[in-house]
């Protein structure tokens, strides 16, 4: 249903979203996530998931090789640092150009098939890139060690005074670490969000949704869907490329493991968890996964004992040993279980859960006869397609 | 010539593993219509059945002899596996043959695992889109491998083949080449024959039993079989369990070739999926032949002569073949017409 998506509510949503993202260091501090490294990850993976959602959420094409573009973006950015100096802007440009070139090539071939075959094709391409980056392309990718910027690199436009300093990316003198790094990523995330919002509302986005609901019918009406899906694929690849380049901007290093198919699986997970096909869902999913990854994997036996110390002694031991399966090293177990639960019970992700709650709330309030008109979750109401 | 024979042999044992996993995958897809991303995890589970069995029968009795001391001055401890204490020489032989013996242990375990998986989870996903099936089984695979990691640790655990077939064998002499040209580990030959016989067993089961006939009919037209009053769902549960056993056995016997670790399943899964797609979704002969074909192609691509001409080809050959096949032959090598062609 495409009701009440007026330009005004979109603008409101964008403003609210920007405000929420930019004030993240403040409102995330109480839950222990207010430090720059994690915030940067939120923004970067939010952008990655946002791009993935443009493909999967709108067209329904499940790409299992999206991490390839992340890796390509990272490599392109590091090469830009090596050749042109530590400014992030040319790095971003490089990443966008390279990731979109690869996306055009891979998408052109993969999109000839749909369904599971498309997933396998993208997976095959990602695995090829990963394997090649590890083996033959070592002169370009530096293989297992990972590509990093060296003091001896040309770095044409860097001033000579920096020659001895640490190699940190900087935007005209602002070092891209800590909070300034976060704000750089956050601005790009907001730009990405704006683009994604415009695509969602455009006739182009409508066309992509039509592809998702029934591609055959689209073809029967005499419309060639390939250019639309390819455009979506390339845009989505560019988002991944930018995310990859931001990873390199905040930490000038690129490794092949970023392209591995587990990384592709991770972005699928983020999108599904938040809610595929919604605007805010993927960002929410990315944030939640990165947050819990950080929190849960830091837990160990001692912290658990401290948490469960209120229990009587005979219960504390078993409870702690049970809980320790799910934290620290076992964080992936929690992730897998969470993922299964979401897919089984809430295929629409967290945003669907929000919508269900809002609907329940609305029904109650309308029965009383005082429909408030607006839900407590304006964003989710807008995103409900 | 001898080099070519050697490469074919090299490809065959890996191809055997691919073929066994792909056979189960395509069986599940053909009958249940489910894309099972947890199939690699079943392969891994099978491998860890061998590890667990080996640990189980290798439990040691510790006898402390206070009269003797070791070189460090501590009382001498002698460790003897219980099974040797109880059964004598038979026990020693059992320890030696722990990998083949664990087949007997793995079959019930894998049957149970397959049954529980199908009844508990997969059953609810028949009607859901493929994307959701992929996602939920992917989640299940993560859960399974993390559980294994918790109990067995993250490091590979080497298993040894029985003494009798541990060495290498000079196959070249038998085939009329010079001695020492085609030398091949015996266990890999055992594995090849094992996988061939399991494949033969599955085909015979489907071809010559009434049960198999119903399953084949169900693969061809599920609805009609249901209309004839046959409870196809119950049979499909067993098919899933059989597929799990096949993957598990592939894992058990593969342990002496590749020390099992918790993520071996994922590594094999991606390749096996490619194998299934190349062979044609839902085609059993396709899966088997594509398995061996890709195994052999991979070993040829890793020959030095080939690598000097096309560097890196050994890393990507399987994926490259998959891409080409998918584009020029939409239903794979032996896929049925009209099944999953778009």
Position B249 pLDDT exceeds 80: yes
* CA atoms of B339 and A117, how far apart (whole Å): 12
Q: For chain A, what are the domain ranges?
A: 7-260, 348-385
Burial tier of A6 (Cβ tally within 10 Å: 0-12, 13-18, 19+): exposed
Give me the residue from B136, B139, B273 closest to A120, CB to CB: B273
Return d(Cα A177, Cα A150) in angstroms, integer: 18
- pLDDT tens track for A103-117: 999 999 888 888 888
Q: How far apart are the first and last CA of chain B?
A: 41
Residue by residue, DSSP assigns A212-245 as HH-HHHHHHTT---HHHHHHHHHHHHHHHHHHHH
A289 inside 8 A of chain B by CB: no
Q: Which residues of B touch A332 (CB under 8 A)?
A: 142, 146
Higher pLDDT, A74 or B89: A74
Taking residue A341's Cβ as centre, other Cβ atoms within 10 Å add up to 12
Comparing B2 with B342, the larger pLDDT belongs to B2
Measured CA to CA, the distance from residue B338 to residue B139 in angstroms comes to 30
| pLDDT tier for residue A150 given thresholds of 50, 70 and 90 | confident
CATH number of the A7-260 domain? 1.10.3470
A interface test, pick of B127, B133, B139, B302 with most A CB neighbours within 10 Å:
B139
Q: Which of B270, B320, B253, B300 is CA-nearest to residue B22?
A: B270
Question: Is residue A162 classed as helix, strand or coil in its secondary structure?
Answer: helix
Q: Which residue of B has its CA nearest to A126?
A: B319
Q: Tokens representing B133?
A: 């099936």
Q: Does the structure show a pLDDT above 90 at A232?
A: yes
Q: Which residue has the higher pLDDT, B74 or A370?
A: B74
Contact residues for B191 (Cβ-Cβ < 8 A; gap 6+): B13, B16, B17, B253, B254, B257
Question: Nearest chain A Cα to B135, which residue?
Answer: A343
Give me the pLDDT at residue A164, please.
55
Chain centroid, CA A220 distance in Å = 35
Percent of chain B's residues with pLDDT above 90 = 16
Given an 8 Å threshold on Cβ–Cβ distance, is B142 in contact with A272? no
Query: What token pair was written down for B192?
Result: 């090849």
- How close does chain A come to B240, measured CA to CA in Å? 20
Cβ separation B270–A117 shorter than 8 A: no
Question: Once rounded to an integer, what is the mean pLDDT over residues A350-363?
Answer: 85
Q: For A359-372, what is each residue's pLDDT tens digit?
A: 888 877 666 544 44
Is A263 at the interface with chain B, CB within 8 A?
no
Which of B316, B318, B329, B332 is the mutation pick for testing A, counting most A CBs within 10 A?
B316
**Tokens representing A47?**
């952008």
> Which band of pLDDT confidence, cut at 50, 70 and 90, is reported for residue A242?
very high
Residue B292, both tokens: 């061996």
Do the beta carbons of residue A241 and residue A72 sit within 8 Å? yes
Q: Is B312 on the interface with A (CB under 8 A)?
A: yes
Assess whether pLDDT exceeds 90 at residue B8: no
Which ipTM value was assigned to this complex?
0.79
| Average pLDDT over every residue of B16-35 | 87
Between residues A229 and A37, which one has the greater pLDDT? A229
Mean pLDDT of B1-28: 85
When the pLDDT of each residue in chain A is averaged and rounded to a whole number, the result is: 81
**pLDDT: is A194 or A330 the higher one?**
A194
DSSP-derived letter for residue A309 is G
Q: Which residue has the higher pLDDT, B249 or B182?
A: B249
Q: How far apart are CA B81 and CA A143, in angstroms?
A: 45
Contacts of A305 (CB under 8 A, 6+ apart): A316, A320
CB pairs under 8 A between A and B: 109
CB contact under 8 A, A333 and B320: no
Please give the share of chain A, as a percent, with pLDDT higher than 90: 20
Q: What is the mean pLDDT of residues B50-65?
A: 82
Any B CB within 8 A of A231 CB? no
Q: How far apart are CA A345 and CA B27, in angstroms?
A: 27
Segment B148-173 shows an average pLDDT of 80
Question: A365 in contact with B at a CB cutoff of 8 Å?
Answer: no
Confidence at residue A370, expressed as pLDDT on a 0 to 100 scale: 47
Q: Does A217 touch chain B (CB under 8 A)?
A: no
Contacts of B274 in chain A (CB under 8 A): 120, 124
CA nearest neighbour of A176 among A248, A276, A240: A248
Mean pLDDT of chain B: 84
CA distance A45 to A147: 21
Integer Rg of chain B from CA: 22
pLDDT above 70 for A373? no
For residue B303, the distance in angstroms to the closest alpha carbon of chain A comes to 15
**Per-residue confidence (pLDDT) for residue A7, from 0 to 100:** 82
Listed in sequence order, the residues at least 6 apart from B245 whose beta carbon sits closer than 8 Å to its beta carbon are B106, B107, B110, B111, B114
Q: Is the pLDDT of residue B144 over 80?
A: yes
CA dihedral B218, B223, B227, B228 (to 10 degrees): -20
Highest mean pLDDT among A35-49, A154-168, A308-322: A35-49
- Disruptive mutation site among A64, A68, A120, A327 for chain B (greatest number of B CBs within 10 Å): A120
Taking the CA of residue A215 and the nearest CA in chain B, the distance in Å comes to: 11
Q: Which chain A residue shows the shortest CA-CA distance from B277?
A: A117
Q: Kindly state the DSSP code that residue B335 receives in the 8-state scheme.
A: P
Its sign, for the CA torsion A196, A198, A204, A205, is positive
Three-state DSSP class for residue B167: coil
Mean per-residue pLDDT, B227-238: 85
Q: Which residues of B touch A325 (CB under 8 A)?
A: 150
Give the pLDDT confidence score for residue B342 in this predicted structure: 56
Q: What is the pLDDT of residue B244?
A: 93
Mutate to test the interface with A, among B38, B117, B142, B268 (most CBs of A within 10 A): B142
Sort strands A174-175 and A170-171 into parallel, antiparallel or unpaired: antiparallel
Half-sphere exposure of B2 (CA within 13 A, CB side): 15
Q: What average pLDDT does the segment A27-40 reach?
A: 81
pLDDT for res A165: 57
User: Among partner residues B136, B142, B277, which is closest to A120 by beta-carbon distance?
Assistant: B277
Contacts of B270 in chain A (CB under 8 A): 123, 127, 261
DSSP symbol at B256: T
Residue B179: burial class (beta carbons within 10 Å; 0-12, 13-18, 19+): exposed
How close A128 gets to chain B, by Cα (Å)? 5
Q: Are B214 and B39 in contact (CB under 8 A)?
A: no
pLDDT at A235: 94
CB contact under 8 A, B323 and A116: no
Task: Read off the pLDDT of each residue in A339-356 and give the average, rounded to a whole number.
Answer: 85
d(CA B202, CA B148): 28
Predicted confidence at residue B112, as pLDDT, reads 94
A117 vs B266: CB contact, 8 Å cut-off? Answer: no
């Amino acid at each position: 249903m495409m009701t009440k998506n007026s330009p005004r509510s979109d603008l409101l949503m964008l403003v609210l979203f920007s405000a929420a993202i930019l004030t993240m260091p403040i409102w995330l501090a109480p839950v222990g996530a207010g430090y720059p490294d994690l915030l940067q990850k939120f923004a970067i993976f939010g952008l990655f998931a946002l791009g993935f959602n443009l493909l999967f959420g709108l067209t329904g094409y499940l790409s299992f090789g999206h991490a390839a573009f992340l890796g390509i973006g990272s490599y392109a950015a590091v090469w830009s640092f090596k050749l042109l100096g530590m400014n992030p802007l040319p790095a971003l440009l490089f990443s966008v150009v390279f990731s979109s070139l690869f996306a055009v090539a891979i998408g052109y071939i993969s999109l000839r098939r749909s369904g599971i075959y498309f997933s396998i094709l993208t997976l095959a391409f990602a695995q090829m890139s990963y394997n090649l980056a590890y083996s033959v392309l070592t002169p370009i990718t530096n293989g297992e060690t990972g590509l990093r910027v060296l003091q001896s690199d040309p770095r044409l436009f860097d001033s000579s005074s920096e020659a001895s300093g640490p190699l940190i990316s900087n935007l005209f003198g602002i070092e891209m670490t800590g909070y300034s790094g976060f704000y750089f990523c956050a601005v790009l995330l907001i730009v990405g969000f704006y683009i994604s919002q415009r695509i969602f509302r455009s006739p182009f986005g409508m066309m992509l949704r039509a592809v998702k609901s029934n591609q055959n019918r689209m073809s029967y009406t005499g419309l060639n869907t390939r250019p639309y899906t390819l455009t979506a694929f390339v845009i989505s690849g560019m988002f991944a490329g930018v995310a990859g380049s931001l990873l390199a901007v905040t930490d000038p290093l690129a490794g092949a493991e970023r392209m591995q198919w587990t990384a592709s699986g991770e972005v699928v997970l983020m999108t599904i968890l938040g809610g595929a096909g919604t605007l805010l869902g993927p960002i929410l999913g990315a944030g939640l996964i990165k947050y819990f990854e950080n929190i849960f994997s830091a837990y160990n036996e001692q912290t658990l004992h401290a948490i469960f110390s209120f229990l009587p002694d005979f219960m504390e031991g078993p409870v702690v040993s049970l809980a320790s399966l799910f934290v620290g090293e076992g964080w992936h177990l929690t992730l897998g279980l969470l993922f299964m639960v979401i897919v089984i019970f809430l295929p629409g992700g967290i945003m669907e859960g929000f919508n269900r709650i809002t609907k329940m709330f609305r029904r109650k309030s309308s029965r009383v006869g005082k429909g408030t008109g607006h839900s407590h979750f304006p964003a989710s109401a807008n995103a409900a397609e | 010539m001898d080099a070519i024979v050697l490469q074919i042999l090299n490809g065959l044992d890996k191809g055997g593993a691919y073929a066994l996993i792909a056979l189960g995958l395509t069986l599940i897809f053909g009958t249940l219509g489910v894309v099972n991303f947890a199939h690699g995890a079943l392969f891994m589970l099978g491998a860890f059945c061998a590890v667990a069995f080996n640990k189980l029968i290798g439990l040691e009795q510790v006898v402390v002899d206070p009269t003797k001391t070791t070189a460090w001055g501590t009382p001498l401890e002698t460790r003897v596996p219980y099974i040797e204490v109880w059964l004598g020489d038979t026990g020693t032989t059992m320890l030696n043959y722990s990998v083949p013996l664990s087949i007997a242990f793995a079959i019930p375990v894998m049957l149970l695992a397959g049954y529980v998986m199908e009844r508990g989870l997969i059953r609810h996903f028949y009607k859901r889109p493929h994307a959701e099936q992929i996602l939920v089984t992917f989640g299940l695979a993560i859960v399974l491998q993390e559980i294994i990691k918790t109990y067995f640790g993250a490091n590979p655990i080497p298993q040894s083949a029985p003494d009798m077939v541990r060495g290498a064998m000079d196959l070249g002499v038998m085939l009329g080449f010079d001695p020492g040209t085609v030398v091949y580990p015996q266990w890999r030959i055992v594995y090849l024959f094992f996988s061939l016989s399991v494949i033969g067993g599955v085909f015979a089961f489907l071809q010559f039993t009434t049960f198999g006939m119903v399953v084949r009919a169900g693969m061809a037209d599920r609805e009609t079989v249901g209309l004839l009053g046959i409870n196809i769902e119950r049979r499909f549960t067993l098919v899933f369990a059989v597929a799990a056993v096949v993957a598990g056995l592939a894992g058990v016997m593969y342990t002496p070739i590749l020390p099992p670790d918790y993520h071996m399943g994922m590594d094999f899964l991606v390749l096996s999926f490619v194998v299934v797609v190349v062979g044609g979704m839902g085609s059993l002969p396709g899966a088997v032949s594509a398995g061996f074909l890709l195994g052999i192609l991979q070993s040829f691509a890793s020959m030095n002569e080939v690598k000097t001409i096309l560097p890196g080809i050994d890393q990507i050959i399987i994926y490259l073949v998959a891409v080409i096949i998918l584009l020029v032959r939409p239903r794979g090598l032996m896929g049925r017409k009209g099944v999953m062609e778009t």
